[in-house]
Amino acid sequence: MIQVEPDLGVWQEYASRENIHPAILSYLNIKRQYFCLIETTVDGKMFATPRGWEDLSQLLGVYEKLGKKADRDVVGQYIQHPKISKDFANYLELYYKYQNEYQVEEILEGVIREELCARVAKAPFDERLSVTGFCSQSLGRASGSCAIKTR
């Protein structure tokens, strides 16, 4: 028998190579305790597992290509812990909202709008943190796609 312990740091390295959805990476950076949680209750097992996060990531990618949004019920199919699936679904809604409002892709292309800068400066801490996370994740994805040539 081999005992395996979940390790978020190791999984994050894997996740960056496998292009796990940035909302999941961002969420798990904030809610590390929800990375792998398995509980047995009178109603049965409730769980959130690394495999569930990865499968959810793939679904989110497909949904985005189709122009659909994942709701709490869809998230609950992969993250079978009601508290965590509800929390992540709420986070995902805010993630999309902030990503759209702050036009992160434009910022990374060099388009800086003074009104957006002013809005970020006045935003609550969690909102500023989300915008910063969007920028760093987008930069990480861009730099990961660059190959360094060596002799």
151 within some domain? no
Q: How far apart are CA 102 and CA 105, in angstroms?
A: 9
92 within some domain? yes
Are the CB atoms for 39 and 45 separated by under 8 Å? Answer: yes
Total structural domains within the chain:
1
Nearest to 142 by CA among 104, 87, 116: 104
Give the pLDDT of residue 143.
64
Are the CB atoms for 92 and 70 separated by under 8 Å? Answer: yes
Give the domain range for residue 71: 8-144
Task: Give the predicted TM-score (pTM) of the model.
Answer: 0.80
1 within some domain? no
What three-state secondary structure class fits 39? strand
3 within some domain? no
Give the pLDDT of residue 20.
94
Comparing 4-8, 65-69, 112-116, which segment has the lowest mean pLDDT? 112-116
Q: Rounded mean pLDDT of 57-72?
A: 95
Q: Rounded mean pLDDT of 57-76?
A: 96
72 within some domain? yes
C-alpha angle 83/75/53, rounded to 5°?
90
121 within some domain? yes
Q: How far apart are CA 97 and CA 70, in angstroms?
A: 13
150 within some domain? no
